Structure 1
Amino acid sequence: MPSSDTSKSVSSTEYLEAKIPGAFPDVSNLSISSHQTLSQALYARKAEYTRPRNVRIKVGTWNVAAIKETDKDVGGWFVQGKGIEESIGGWGVGSPKSESIEPREGVQEQEARSSKHGSTLPKHDDGAVPGGNDIGLYVLGLQEVVDIASPTEALRPYTDPSVGKRYKAAIEEALPSGYELVAEQQLIGLLLLIYASPTLKQHVTSVSTTSVGTGLMGYMGNKGAVTARIILGETTRLVFVNSHLGAGADKTALERRNWDAAQIEGRTRFDPIVDIMGVSQATGEGLGEEDFAFWFGDLNYRLEGMPGDDVRRLLTRHVKNLDPPEAEDSASVSAESSDVSKTPSSNSDLDAVPLPPDLDPASLQTTITSLLPHDELQQQQRAGKAFHDGWKEGPIQFLPSYKYDIGKVGVFDSSEKARCPSWCDRILYRTRAAKLQHDAKLKEREEARKKDEEMKAKGMEQAGDDEDVLFDYDPDTDGDACDDYEPNTEPEVQTVITKEGFKDEILLEYYTSHMRVLSSDHKPLDAIFNLTFDAVIPELKATIHQEVARELDRQENEGRPSIAVVVECATATESPENKNTTDSDFDGIDFGDVQFAKSKKRSITVANTGRVPATFGFTDRPLEEDQAAGPFPPWLTVTFDKEPDVPAQPPTDQVHQQYTLEPADVLNVQLKLKVDSMDLVRKLNEETAKLEEILVLRVQSGRDHFLPVRGRWLQSTLARSIDKLIRIPEGGIRKLQNQKPASDQGVKWSAPRELFRLTESIEDLTERTVADWDMTGHENDRAPWHHNAGWPFAKDSRYFADGAHETTLANVYEALDCDTPFDKAFYPEVAPMQRVEILAEVILRFLSSMTDGIVTQEMWKNLEDGFAARERSKQQLPADEERLWALEILSSAPNHNVSFVLLTSMLQRVATEITNASKADPKSPRSSLDLPSSPVSVRRRTLSKVPKVAIRQLINRNYATLFAEAVVRATGTDKMKDKDKTVRKERMIRLLELFLSEGVEDQ
């Protein structure tokens, strides 16, 4: 809660003009300044519905070095506080717990047991720092969860989420019940996970995650940071940065680390915050605008200029005797102690009082204190080159976190490289107060520099006795050191006034290393912070909300609601070739040229220009014959950038969804026009329907607004008969725009040209796809035709999900209508496999849209009668004879016959190509044959015992099933019983299978 002193010192005018989220807008920008909105009045009473809350935040970091099975350890050390060697534990770590019946496993036993297939943590470890339900917010940063040095592994997070899932599963298994993942972000090897307790998660809002790559070329993600911003209780901004900075021990590497940190701080940007007034920031905030920030990870800072062998020797003596002495060695230990007590310098009285660690020359803390002046991070902070703007760190009272032999507790790098131990892994934190203090000092220095230059320019350096008033500033030397940097001292409670004006407090309780985690060459660290913050209490806020609403309700009748509607200019988004189709005098929403399957978007802005809240919505249209009910035609989708009001009673005046805007608020509305109904396409082609409508925007207690909407339909080859399609000239249907292919116009083609083009392209692309797959290898993966016997006409969702290719699909239909090459419809990055899937979707849609079908109703009646007669007589014709019989019926319409043969020939060739690519082993027994899955029902016992033939039969069945109803037109199906429909469908499939299996029956 804001302090009383602060509230008394701020005048009402200053409060109104405060530049903080949720503050009142600048009254100079409002046409009406006397009106106070509900949200504004509610915010002004925020102190009445907030209460202090206390939460512990545990921040952990670990470089897992891309080693598998490290997830077996992560829950134990991070959530349960295990793996700490208390004698060298770190800040805040006291005596070990002794809850277990059995003693904790010794170091030697632990190292002997450690393996890659289980947890390496010591057995019977009760944990040395708080965990479980004691923590409200768990924040874990992992580095190198994949091998960042391997291009193949580095791309895995984009295609295989299993790596991150393993660590999440391990954390969630260790967490108490009810904890929930509130933020997650991954950038190649960097993974950030944040979990909130059941009581805290309701107070977490405005979650935004982002990442910054600083690796190769300064932007790749092998180095960089993943960052999350959350707001607690609508009052306190928290930012968490998990980073992996550049490696290396030379000066260039050090400069690169500083550069990486600066890039992360400069390029991190979060989503805009929507404050409690419902107003969104114009731009998102960056680092430095939060109340509390935590920066952790493998920062890679080393011990500068220290011989590795000397450092290892110095540190090893603190870890070599972690296990208690064995019984057989107790005599020697006692003798050793006796010898020490007899030395001349021994004083029994003094020895009875142990020396403090910082005064004991043999203590770990003394050793650490001697090494820290060489720590690059602290050097760079002192020099003002990195992490100097308010960042602090808890006291370092633990051994360096890097580099250890895997499987060992305290064995430093014994490889040939023999790397020098260093505190590479760190946890830093910063408060808003520390950042503002740093910024204020920078401003003071800059002002002093300017004043010094001004005074020197006036010659005041010769002022004699007044020389003492001059500022002795040297730009060549001053500013190199960071005057406000303080070495890490014992943490104290820090009080912070947040950006929202609340008073928060934070205290570092623990900062420790988990030395007895053996599965990585880095030791994990964690820190526990105790945060006291003001949180919104929903029940109190609801009560205040009601009071404010009642008070403002009196003002609603002071004026009539009024809105203004601004329509996007039609020519603003049109392509140059379509600009001439728009009418600048048209006072409405003009979508310009519209083609099948391609979305066109326009937007309108609704602003409340009145003195009172305005509630409005679109009303139902006056319906004509065959029109769909509702406020919008079926080809128009309307979306709003805010949720509709929750009506207290059923809507009136035929308004289904209503929206309320406070004075000076705006609402953005997007209108999307898309034609994908074949019935509508047919009517548009025949000019019995138009893309025209008038929308009515009704304002409660105000006047209606009328919005004309229109689009210009571009003729399509879809939803036409074969007789009309074969008369379309070369160049496509668009050459006949605003005309109809006349029945007396000369026949141009033996079958629709569109069918020729589609079948030819599908054949070619299928061949290319199979060849590409064979050349590229695709280890550990199966070709789509191995998964799906209906491919490419039943798409493989692993490679091309439905709905992900709307623009490309629309471009293909455009190419079909304009008789242009399909290659120009695809973006270069679209692979042949994806292209053939799209064309396969198009050909099925094209065939299904034909008004007469390839097999007309009359043809099908004759074919169905023949099938039925042979079924009744149980007479089965040989396949060749049955094909001749079918072709004789189809030949009654030559163009349909040619189209049918063209289609089935294409399907036959595609099936042959895929069958050959399946590479079935002819020696495999029928029972062990690995057949592709079938999207249609197939009784596999009816398939051939020859593997290759069985695959071909399965493909034929799938193709026939997928194309049956697209090719054949039949009457009366809607009136038939389900059993009869099934029989009819099976006969259609039989017709196609006759021609697809030609040449296969005898194998």
Structure 2
Amino acid sequence: TCCMPSEDIYEGYYITLYANRVHIITWNVGSATPPDDITALLGLNVGDGNTDMYIIGLQEVNSMINKRLKDVLFTDQWSEVCMERLSPFGYVLVTSQRMQGLLLLVFAKYFHLPFLRGVQTETTRTGLGGYWGNKGGVSARMSVFGHTICFLNCHLPAHMENSDQRMEDFESILQQQQFEGQAATGVLDHDVVFWFGDLNFRIDDLEMQVVKSAIDNNKLSTLWEKDQLNMAKDSETVLEGFQEGPLKFPPTYKFDVGTDTYDTSGKKRKPAWTDRILWRLRATAPASTGKRGSISGLTSGTKVTQHFYRSHMEYTVSDHKPVSSIFTLQFPYKVDVPLVTLIVEDEWNSVADAIAKFRLVPNYSRSSWDWIGLYKVGFKHHKDYVGYVWAKQEEADYHRQEHQVILMHEELPKGSGDFILGYYSNNMSTIVGVTEPFQVIITTFHYFNIKII
């Protein structure tokens, strides 16, 4: 289970830390259609089921609309393939953001949805001086169990000589991306930032043969000090606080498509670590000397542990190789009370059982457009429901502790299976309450109207 607590002793106090496991993937897909199988890329073939969130950042996604897409809500094959692979394992698309070739997808286990709040996305164009979205950044921010996290997927300018331009564009993206409402903050104001993408930094000074020899002889450390991003960390204040694991995998660009052979074309691009995943923790004020101050200092911070940082050489549809990393985020506390609690029977054996009771926390900002969806276990996104009912209340019912809705026969599945109910908040544009899975085994249908009790 997620958010397994571990205890730390801190100056005589027991502090419970909650762990959240995040799997991040970045890949410049070079306008290719998805490969037949991305199971290994997602780690589903060796996964222990402990990953809580998947964050997938793609660049150069083909912007042509494909007519074979099954889901009318999505206009690209990559979103569809990722949903098809992840949904059977209980992952639901939380949000997505597209800007031309840049695509960011955020997935989470369905039972975490009520605790991912304040979800917002942003885009920044930096191509052609800000008029074109072929380069730039797309981001998604949210509060995860009460801690703010921002995921930023960037595609920065290409070519060896443009290192300064890459830094300028990154700075511009950070300045322009401002989130609204209670989260009226910039990217760097979040507790944790993950920055990834085709950042396009190259290896300076060294000749092609020197670089290839270092790769062939597995002496990658000799290339690290000439990597433009590593060099920039010492001088660029905008990179302050950003961390990256050691580059123990070969450069991920540029390959002949269909192979794991570095560029043999006339251009003969020098191999480079263009595809990167970094993270940053917000600096917290130093704790005061008293015990209470020490604890508040500790609880204001989240620990990030990187478990691996690797490339995937077996994928050959693009001239880039995908890069992935798994992190554990240790939260010092966890906000885990849902805004809406849904109650259902363990089994629905007849239409008469199709009743959902729900309770709202006192400060929940409800809307007459809130609804409760019936979802088959393995659903892909919040609109992938079998049926739904409006979660309406009469004025006189506002102060009732518990409310109830009845699903009509049209909203019920035609066969049996495992289902959950999810309460969708119109104001928050997200699911704010879910049930445990329950069985629906209904063979005959009767007509019912929705009643509000």
Question: By the TM > 0.5 criterion, same fold?
Answer: yes
394 and 644 in structure 1: CA distance in 2 versus 1, 3 angstrom threshold: farther
Deviation at 1:272, TM superposition (A): 1.7
Amino acid at match of 1:55: N
Amino acid at match of 1:201: L
The question of whether the paired residues in 1 share the 8 Å contact of 2:214 and 2:220 is answered with no
Q: Deviations over 1:761-816 (max 9, x none)?
A: xxxxxxxxxxxxxxxxxxxxxxxxxxxxxxxxxxxxxxxxxxxxxxxxxxxxxxxx
- By percentage of residues, which structure has more strand? 2
2:251 aligned to which of 378, 386, 400:
400
2:50 aligned to which of 131, 134, 140:
134
What is the aligned partner in structure 2 of residue 241 from structure 1? 152
2:22 aligned to which of 52, 57, 61:
57
Query: Following superposition of structure 1 onto structure 2, how do residues 822-837 of structure 1 map, counting pairs within 5 Å?
Result: none
**TM-score, normalised relative to structure 2:** 0.66
Q: Give the Cα–Cα distance (whole angstroms) in 1 for the partners of residues 19 and 124 of structure 2.
A: 32
245 and 163 in structure 1: CA distance in 2 versus 1, 3 angstrom threshold: farther
The question of whether the paired residues in 2 share the 8 Å contact of 1:71 and 1:170 is answered with no
Deviation at 1:218, TM superposition (A): 2.5
Query: Following superposition of structure 1 onto structure 2, how do residues 179-328 of structure 1 map, counting pairs within 5 Å?
Result: 179-233=91-145, 235-250=146-161, 253-273=162-182, 284-315=184-215, 317-318=216-217
Deviation at 1:183, TM superposition (A): 1.5
2:312 aligned to which of 503, 514, 525:
514
Q: Give the Cα–Cα distance (whole angstroms) in 2 for the partners of residues 51 and 540 of structure 1.
A: 23
Query: Following superposition of structure 1 onto structure 2, how do residues 409-424 of structure 1 map, counting pairs within 5 Å?
Result: 409=260, 411-424=261-274
SS of residue matched to 1:222 = strand
500 and 204 in structure 1: CA distance in 2 versus 1, 3 angstrom threshold: farther
Q: Give the Cα–Cα distance (whole angstroms) in 1 for the partners of residues 297 and 108 of structure 2.
A: 23
Q: Deviations over 1:669-721 (max 9, x none)?
A: xxxxxxxxxxxxxxxxxxxxxxxxxxxxxxxxxxxxxxxxxxxxxxxxxxxxx
Q: Deviations over 1:636-661 (max 9, x none)?
A: xxxxxxx9895236xxxxxxxxxxxx
Q: Give the Cα–Cα distance (whole angstroms) in 2 for the partners of residues 304 and 371 of structure 1.
A: 9
Q: Give the Cα–Cα distance (whole angstroms) in 1 for the partners of residues 339 and 72 of structure 2.
A: 42
Structure 2 gaps of 5+ residues are: 287-293, 342-358, 363-393, 401-453
Amino acid at match of 2:43: Q
- 1:372 is the counterpart of 2:224: yes
Deviation at 1:80, TM superposition (A): 2.6
The question of whether the paired residues in 2 share the 8 Å contact of 1:509 and 1:530 is answered with yes
**TM-score, normalised relative to structure 1:** 0.31
647 and 499 in structure 1: CA distance in 2 versus 1, 3 angstrom threshold: farther
What is the aligned partner in structure 1 of residue 327 from structure 2? 529
Query: Following superposition of structure 1 onto structure 2, how do residues 73-92 of structure 1 map, counting pairs within 5 Å?
Result: 73=37, 75-80=38-43
- By percentage of residues, which structure has more helix? 1
SS of residue matched to 1:433 = coil
SS of residue matched to 1:405 = coil
Query: Following superposition of structure 1 onto structure 2, how do residues 674-753 of structure 1 map, counting pairs within 5 Å?
Result: none
Q: Give the Cα–Cα distance (whole angstroms) in 2 for the partners of residues 378 and 644 of structure 1.
A: 61
Deviation at 1:5, TM superposition (A): 7.9
Amino acid at match of 1:242: N
What is the aligned partner in structure 1 of residue 405 from structure 2? none
Q: Deviations over 1:864-889 (max 9, x none)?
A: xxxxxxxxxxxxxxxxxxxxxxxxxx
Amino acid at match of 2:334: A
Q: Give the Cα–Cα distance (whole angstroms) in 1 for the partners of residues 169 and 237 of structure 2.
A: 12
SS of residue matched to 1:383 = coil
SS of residue matched to 2:103 = strand
Q: Deviations over 1:56-87 (max 9, x none)?
A: 1001100001122x2534x3233236xxxxxx
397 and 177 in structure 1: CA distance in 2 versus 1, 3 angstrom threshold: closer
What is the aligned partner in structure 2 of residue 168 from structure 1? 79
SS of residue matched to 1:399 = coil
Q: Give the Cα–Cα distance (whole angstroms) in 2 for the partners of residues 370 and 425 of structure 1.
A: 19
Q: Give the Cα–Cα distance (whole angstroms) in 1 for the partners of residues 247 and 322 of structure 2.
A: 14
Amino acid at match of 1:421: P
Query: Following superposition of structure 1 onto structure 2, how do residues 19-34 of structure 1 map, counting pairs within 5 Å?
Result: none
Q: Give the Cα–Cα distance (whole angstroms) in 2 for the partners of residues 499 and 215 of structure 1.
A: 41
Q: Give the Cα–Cα distance (whole angstroms) in 1 for the partners of residues 82 and 296 of structure 2.
A: 31
Q: Deviations over 1:98-144 (max 9, x none)?
A: xxxxxxxxxxxxxxxxxxxxxxxxxxxx55xxx36221000000000
61 and 498 in structure 1: CA distance in 2 versus 1, 3 angstrom threshold: farther
164 and 61 in structure 1: CA distance in 2 versus 1, 3 angstrom threshold: farther
540 and 298 in structure 1: CA distance in 2 versus 1, 3 angstrom threshold: closer
Amino acid at match of 2:234: R
Structure 1 gaps of 5+ residues are: 9-46, 82-125, 148-152, 274-280, 319-363, 438-495, 550-642, 650-1003
SS of residue matched to 2:31 = coil
Q: Give the Cα–Cα distance (whole angstroms) in 1 for the partners of residues 297 and 180 of structure 2.
A: 17
Amino acid at match of 1:428: L
The question of whether the paired residues in 2 share the 8 Å contact of 1:246 and 1:257 is answered with yes
432 and 239 in structure 1: CA distance in 2 versus 1, 3 angstrom threshold: same
SS of residue matched to 2:132 = coil
Q: Deviations over 1:467-515 (max 9, x none)?
A: xxxxxxxxxxxxxxxxxxxxxxxxxxxxx99999545322111111111
Alignment RMSD (CA, Å): 3.8
The question of whether the paired residues in 1 share the 8 Å contact of 2:35 and 2:317 is answered with no
Q: Deviations over 1:554-574 (max 9, x none)?
A: xxxxxxxxxxxxxxxxxxxxx
What is the aligned partner in structure 1 of residue 280 from structure 2? 430
The question of whether the paired residues in 2 share the 8 Å contact of 1:306 and 1:420 is answered with no
Q: Give the Cα–Cα distance (whole angstroms) in 2 for the partners of residues 500 and 206 of structure 1.
A: 24
SS of residue matched to 2:40 = helix
What is the aligned partner in structure 1 of residue 383 from structure 2? none
Amino acid at match of 1:373: E
Q: Give the Cα–Cα distance (whole angstroms) in 2 for the partners of residues 500 and 219 of structure 1.
A: 44
1:72 aligned to which of 36, 45, 48:
36
Higher relative contact order (CA 8 A, sep 6+): 2
Give runs of ≥4 in structure 1 deviating > 6 Å. Answer: 1-6, 160-163, 496-500, 539-542
Identity over aligned pairs, percent? 32
The question of whether the paired residues in 1 share the 8 Å contact of 2:22 and 2:328 is answered with yes
Q: Deviations over 1:210-244 (max 9, x none)?
A: 111111122421110100111112x2111100000
The question of whether the paired residues in 1 share the 8 Å contact of 2:8 and 2:16 is answered with no
Amino acid at match of 2:181: P
What is the aligned partner in structure 1 of residue 406 from structure 2? none
645 and 375 in structure 1: CA distance in 2 versus 1, 3 angstrom threshold: farther
SS of residue matched to 2:118 = strand
The question of whether the paired residues in 2 share the 8 Å contact of 1:58 and 1:529 is answered with yes
497 and 202 in structure 1: CA distance in 2 versus 1, 3 angstrom threshold: farther
305 and 135 in structure 1: CA distance in 2 versus 1, 3 angstrom threshold: same
The question of whether the paired residues in 1 share the 8 Å contact of 2:26 and 2:58 is answered with yes
The question of whether the paired residues in 2 share the 8 Å contact of 1:291 and 1:499 is answered with no
What is the aligned partner in structure 1 of residue 399 from structure 2? 648
Amino acid at match of 2:305: L
SS of residue matched to 2:174 = helix
Q: Give the Cα–Cα distance (whole angstroms) in 1 for the partners of residues 10 and 132 of structure 2.
A: 49
SS of residue matched to 1:423 = coil
Q: Deviations over 1:4-52 (max 9, x none)?
A: 989x9xxxxxxxxxxxxxxxxxxxxxxxxxxxxxxxxxxxxxx9xx974
Q: Give the Cα–Cα distance (whole angstroms) in 1 for the partners of residues 132 and 323 of structure 2.
A: 26
Tell me the number of residue pairs that the alignment of Structure 1 and Structure 2 aligns: 334
Deviation at 1:374, TM superposition (A): 0.6
Q: Give the Cα–Cα distance (whole angstroms) in 2 for the partners of residues 498 and 226 of structure 1.
A: 33
Amino acid at match of 2:41: F
